[in-house]
Structure 1
Amino acid sequence: MLLVAIVFAIFLVIGMPVAFAIGISGMMFFLQHPELPISIPLQITVSTTQNFSLLAVPLFIVAGNLMNRSGITEGLLNLASVLTGRLRGGLAQISIVLSALMGGVSGSAIADAAMQSRMLGQQMIDRGMTKGFAAGVLSFSSLLTPIIPPGIGMILFGTIGSVSIGRLFAGGILPALLLGVAMSLSVWITATKRGYPPERSTRPTAKETITAFRGGIWAILFPVILLVGLRAGIFTPSEIGAVAVLYAVFIGFLIYKRMKVSDFIEALESSLGDVGSVMFLISLSAIFGYGIVFERLPELVASGLGTLTDNVQVVMVLIVLLTIVAGLFVDATVLIIMMTPIVLPVVTRLGGDPVHFGIIFVIAATLGNFTPPVGAAMYTVCSILNVSIKDYIKEGWPLLLAISIVTILLIFVPSIVLYIPNLIFG
Structure 2
Amino acid sequence: MLLVIIFFFLFMLLGMPVVFAIAISGFLFFLQHPEIPITTPIQQPLSQTINFALLAIPLFITAGNMMNKTGITKRLIDLSVILVGHLRGGLAQVTCVLSALMGGVSGSAIADAAMEARMLGPEMIRRGLPKGYAAGALVYSSLEVPTIPPSIGLVLFGTIAQVSIGRLFAGGIVPGLLIMVYLMITVAITAKIRNFALLREKRPSAKEVATGFLKSIWAILFPIILLVGLRGGFFTPSEIGALCVVYAVLVGLLAYRELNFNNFVEALKSSVTDIGATMSLIAFSSIFSYGIVWERIPELISNFILGITNNPFVFLLILIVILLIAGSFIDATVLILMLTSIFFPIAIKLGVDPIHFGLIFVIACAVGNFTPPVGAAMYAVCTILDVSLEEYLKESWPFLVAIVIAIITIILFPGLVLFIPNLIFEK
Structure 2 distance, partners of 1:7, 1:171, is: 37
Q: Match for residue 220 of structure 1?
A: 220
Deviates more, 1:402-411 or 1:38-47: 38-47
Separation of aligned partners in 2, 1:367 and 1:325: 10
Who is 2:423 aligned against?
Answer: 423
Deviations 1:81-101 (A, max 9, x none): 111111111111011000000
Q: 133-142 vs 5-14, which deviates more?
A: 5-14
Partner of 1:168: 168
Deviation digits for residues 379-420 of structure 1 (CA, Å, limit 9, x no counterpart): 111111111111111111111111101101111211111111
* Equivalent in the alignment of 2:208: 208
Name the CA distance, whole Å, in 2 between partners of 1:266 and 1:130. Answer: 33
What is the distance in 1 between the residues matched to 2:64 and 2:350? Answer: 37
How many angstroms does 1:204 deviate by? 2.1
How big is the shift at 1:209? 1.8
Distance 2:137 2:45 in 1: 39
Q: 1:363 and 2:363 equivalent?
A: yes
RMSD: 1.1
CA–CA separation in structure 1 for the residues paired with 2:417 and 2:192: 31
Corresponding residue of 2:285: 285
Q: Does structure 2 conserve the Cα–Cα contact (< 8 Å) formed by 1:299 and 1:346?
A: no
Q: Deviations over 1:55-112 (max 9, x none)?
A: 0011011111101111101110111111111111111101100000000111111111
After superposition, residues 229-378 of structure 1 pair within 5 angstroms as 229-378=229-378
Deviations 1:28-73 (A, max 9, x none): 2222222111112222211111111110011011111101111101
Residue-by-residue CA offset, 1:146-184 (whole Å, 9 max, x unaligned): 111001111111111111111110111100111111100
1:196 equivalent to 2:196? Answer yes
Deviation at 1:140, TM superposition (A): 0.7
Distance 2:171 2:292 in 1: 28
What corresponds to 1:3 in structure 2?
3
Aligned residues of 1:156 and 1:336 also touching (Cα < 8 A): yes
* TM superposition shift of 1:203: 2.5
Could you give the per-residue CA deviations for residues 291-318 of structure 1, whole angstroms, max 9, x where no partner exists?
2222221111110001111111111111
Correspondence for 2:414: 414
Distance 1:351 1:207 in 2: 48
For structure 1, the residue ranges without an aligned partner over 5 or more in a row are none
Deviations 1:270-296 (A, max 9, x none): 111111111111111111111222222
Instruction: Measure, in 2, the Cα distance between the counterparts of 1:278 and 1:115.
Output: 18
Structural mapping, 1:59-70, within 5 Å: 59-70=59-70
Give, in whole Å, the separation in 2 of the partners of 1:74 and 1:22: 38
Q: In the TM superposition, what whole-angstrom CA distance separates every residue of 1:333-362 from its partner, at most 9, and x where no partner exists?
A: 111111111111111121111211111111
Letter in 2 for 1:303: N
Task: Name the amino acid aligned to 1:95.
Answer: T
Letter paired with 2:289: G
- Give the 3-state SS of the residue equivalent to 1:277 in structure 2: helix
The correspondence of residues 69-108 of structure 1 with structure 2, limited to 5 A, is 69-108=69-108
Distance in 2 separating the partners of 1:382 and 1:26? 32
- Letter paired with 1:160: I
After the TM superposition, which residues 125-136 of structure 1 pair with which residues of structure 2 at under 5 Å, given as runs? 125-136=125-136
- The one-letter code matched in structure 1 to 2:95 is S
Q: Secondary structure at the match of 1:30?
A: helix
State the Cα distance separating 1:133 from its structure 2 match.
Answer: 1.1
**Whole-angstrom CA distance in 1 between matches of 2:135 and 2:45:** 39
The amino acid that maps onto 2:186 is S
Q: Please identify, of 323-332 and 290-299, the stretch whose mean Cα deviation from structure 2 is larger.
A: 290-299
TM-score, length-scaled by structure 1: 0.98
Q: Distance in 1 between matches of 2:32 and 2:230?
A: 44
1:58 is matched with which residue?
A: 58
Alpha-carbon contact 1:320-1:364 (below 8 Å) kept: yes
> Secondary structure, in 3 states, of the residue corresponding to 2:216?
helix
Give the % identical residues.
Answer: 59
Q: Which whole-Å CA distance do the structure 2 matches of 1:413 and 1:299 have between them?
A: 28
Equivalent residues in 2 for 1:22-61, closer than 5 Å: 22-61=22-61
User: C-alpha distance in 2, partners of 1:382/1:7?
Assistant: 29
Shift of residue 197, structure 1, vs aligned partner = 2.4
How many residues align? The count is 426
Distance 1:386 1:26 in 2: 36
Q: Distance in 2 between matches of 1:237 and 1:102?
A: 19
CA displacement at 1:212 relative to structure 2: 0.5
Which residue pairs with 2:13 in the alignment?
13
Q: Quick check: 1:171–1:418 contact (8 Å CA) kept in 2?
A: yes
Q: Distance in 2 between matches of 1:20 and 1:341?
A: 22
